[in-house]
Amino acid sequence: QVQLQESGPRLVKPSQTLSLTCTVSGGSITTDYYYWNWIRQPPGKGLEWMGAIPYIGSTNYSPSLKIRTCISKDTSKNQFTLQMSSVTPEDKAVYYCASVASLISGAITYRYLELWGQGTLVTVSS
């Protein structure tokens, strides 16, 4: 059974870099047609997709966060990582990692959110 688990500091100071790691167990981040995502939810607000690193190819980012965000992966550890620089209190949120799987039917590819981590609340405060 595949599971995702976020880890990292729960408290970050303003202007510093937030760094979270998602460890994937029971499956491989190199599995074909999988995309590994970071999603966040600020208190009282909706979900915000931050970006995704694919099984192969380039990472995609939300345009609004791209300048501050970097997603990378370590295949030897079966982990992928989120780094967000210059954080402010507005970056306080529950951060989730999630997998997106692909279903290919002929010429059509369907992608769907498959699994989520439990989420981790990160607070930005001095």
Please report the pLDDT score of residue 91 as a whole number.
98
| pLDDT tens for each residue of 35-72 | 999 999 999 999 999 999 999 989 999 999 999 999 99
Rounded Cα–Cα distance for residues 30 and 19 (Å): 22
Q: How many CB atoms lie within 10 A of CB 14?
A: 13
For the chain, the average pLDDT equals 96
Compute the radius of gyration of the chain from its Cα atoms: 15
Contact 50, 40 (CB under 8 A): yes
DSSP assignment of 56-103: SS--EE-TTTGGGEEEEEETTTTEEEEEE-S--GGG-EEEEEEEEEEE
